[in-house]
Structure formats: structure tokens, C-alpha cells
Amino acid sequence: MKNYSVRPYRESDYANWNAFIGQAKNATFLFHRDFMEYHKDRFKDFSLMIFNNEKLIAVLPANRVGDIVYSHQGLTYGGLAYSTKLNGEKVENILNSLVSFFKENDVQSFCFKPIPLFYTLKGNAEMDFFMLKKGAFLDKKEMNLGINLSLPLTISKSKLKHFRKIEELDLELVEEQQLELFWKLVLEPRLLEKYDAKPVHTLKEITALKEKFPKNIKQFSVYFEDVIIAGVTILETETVVKSQYGATTKKGEELRALDFLFINLIQKYKSEGKLFFDMGIVNEDNEKGYHAGLLKQKEELGCSVYSQDFYKMNLI
């Protein structure tokens, strides 16, 4: 490991970091510094850059809380991003270098949340394997629901039956550039009413992110009699579409507007050649550990269960 070195990200690394993310085999626009730093006031950044003979070969989006380093809590998924040319042995060397760096900097635990495998056509399991071999353990596993768009769709007959009825209601599906109506009239009041919660992103934050990533962040809404009744906010990569937020008003719920919207989007992105539709996790703080209604709803839309794993390595 004598030729490997690790150092924290600095503001002067902005261009170099982003250029590397653009060619890494297992990264998306969420790892771009402009996306990561919208919430920099909430997280103490501890992102790392790994070099081999002074050549950048990997980056780790991360934050630190006390003596624990997380592969970044502010991102939907994270992990080590590295070049397509890296073989497994070099990934092991990178992990060894990271562990040494952590110990030198009084880090007692490393929590690692890899990007789901369906985002990475060229594979991404090296870090999982080597972390387990070096004493890490699976700390948590969540069900991540997704649709493989390369296969025939398996939307339930009941969903399709209602969908055909909904199509007769003259609902209007719109891709719109502004998110304010969805946020203020649908998402925020619905989350508050049903879960006493707020969206992770404020309207100001998601608007700023959409302005920086207009090809990746999209808003689709449904209107009935010129009134917005449902919407889905999409995070789009080259191969995967993720529904980041989906919500409906009470009227939209009555008209099954969210099903109408999702089925249209599933068909749209399948026809455009996307490979996966990521509909997110269904975890809930209850005895089962998941929301049974959400699981059923997503499975009826054609989703299968994939894993979102969380690993923890204690360093003392």
C-alpha cells in the first residue's frame, strides 16, 4: 500500500472531483459536489480522495459525526466511487488505505451504504466483499422496490382495470419546470397530514438542485379541472429512474391519480430504453419493519424487491 494515499476533499478539488465522478463506473449525479453541498450546513463533510502514485483512483462521499464516518448520510445511496479500470485487488488496497486513514484520524466506526446494484451495469460488490472479510457486518437491510424495465411489465390486472377507467376522466399529465404547486399544494400538506413530516428537501433546495441538474431532476404532475391533484418528482440517471417524491391530494386519491401517473411514467421510461424504475424503500418503524400498504402498492405496479444494505465496521 506504499503508493496509496488518502486525503480529505478540499474546495480546490471541485473540478477534479466532478470530472472523476463523470467517468466513474459506479457513481451518479448525486455524487457531484453541487448536489452534495446543498445541505452542507447539516452535515460535517468528511469526503475523501484516494490516490495511487498521485493519480486519483477513487473518491468516498462521506460525512462525520463524532468518531463515526458515514458514506454520506445526506445521500439516498453512497459508497466508494472508482474507475472502471480498477480490479478487485486494488479495491482491497483502497479499503486498507481508508482503514489506516480512519485510525490515524481517531475514527472508531465506518458506516457504509453502497449504491444499489441495479444502478451499476458493470458491477459494484467489491467493497461489500472486502469489508465483510475485514470484520464489517451487515448492520441493516432495507427492501428497495424496483422495476426491471428490460422485462415485460407485470402491473396487476386490478391496477390496469382502474387505469383504463381513469383514462376516461380527462386527467392532464404535465411535465413542468416549476415545483412550487406540487410542493405547496400537494406534497407538504399531505406529508404533514398523514405522517406529521416534511420533505427532506425544502422547496428552495429542490428548486436550486433542479436548476443545476435540469436533465436529471424532473417534475410530473396530474391536473383535474385545472387543479393539481398528484405529482411525482423524478431523479433520472443514464439508466435508472427514481421516484424521489410521490404524493396526491384527497381528490387525487379518490381518482387514483397517483396510479395513473406512475403507470404512465413506467410505460414512458420503458419505451425510452431506461433499464430500471427505482420506487424506493418501504421501511417503517414498526414491528414488521416495513409499510405493508406501500409494499403491496408497489408490487402491484410491477416492482420486485431488491436490497439496500448498510454495513458497519468497528475500528477499535
Residue-level pLDDT at 235 = 98
In this predicted structure, the answer to whether residue 237 has a pLDDT above a threshold of 60 is yes
- What average pLDDT does this structure show over 154-158? 95
- What average pLDDT does this structure show over 57-77? 96
- What average pLDDT does this structure show over 260-280? 97
> Is residue 36 a contact partner of residue 75, using CB atoms and an 8 Å limit?
yes
Residue-level pLDDT at 285 = 82
In this predicted structure, the answer to whether residue 143 has a pLDDT above a threshold of 90 is yes
Residues 6+ apart with CB under 8 A from 129: 88
Q: Which residues pair with 218 in a beta bridge?
A: 234
Residues 6+ apart with CB under 8 A from 296: none
Question: What is the residue whose three cell numbers read 473518491?
Answer: 59
Place 1 in a pLDDT band, splitting at 50, 70 and 90.
Answer: low
C-alpha cell at position 85: 479500470
Residue-level pLDDT at 287 = 86
Residue-level pLDDT at 148 = 97
Determine the 3-state secondary structure of 73 from DSSP.
Answer: coil
In this predicted structure, the answer to whether residue 289 has a pLDDT above a threshold of 90 is no
**For the chain, what is the mean pLDDT?**
95
- What average pLDDT does this structure show over 56-73? 97
Question: What percentage of the chain exceeds 90 in pLDDT?
Answer: 86
In this predicted structure, the answer to whether residue 91 has a pLDDT above a threshold of 80 is yes
C-alpha cell at position 97: 488505505
Place 155 in a pLDDT band, splitting at 50, 70 and 90.
Answer: very high
Q: Closest Cα partner for 231 from 258, 264, 204?
A: 258
Angle at 32 between CA 30 and CA 35, to 5 degrees: 60
- What average pLDDT does this structure show over 265-284? 96
Question: What percentage of the chain exceeds 70 in pLDDT?
Answer: 99
Residue-level pLDDT at 12 = 98
Question: What is the residue whose three cell numbers read 486494488?
Answer: 90
Residue 226 carries which DSSP code? Answer: T
Residue-level pLDDT at 2 = 66
Task: Give the whole-angstrom CA distance, residue 144 versus residue 146.
Answer: 7
Residue-level pLDDT at 133 = 95
Residue-wise pLDDT tens digits, 171-220? 999 999 999 999 999 999 999 998 899 999 999 999 999 999 999 999 99
Model's pTM, two decimal places? 0.93
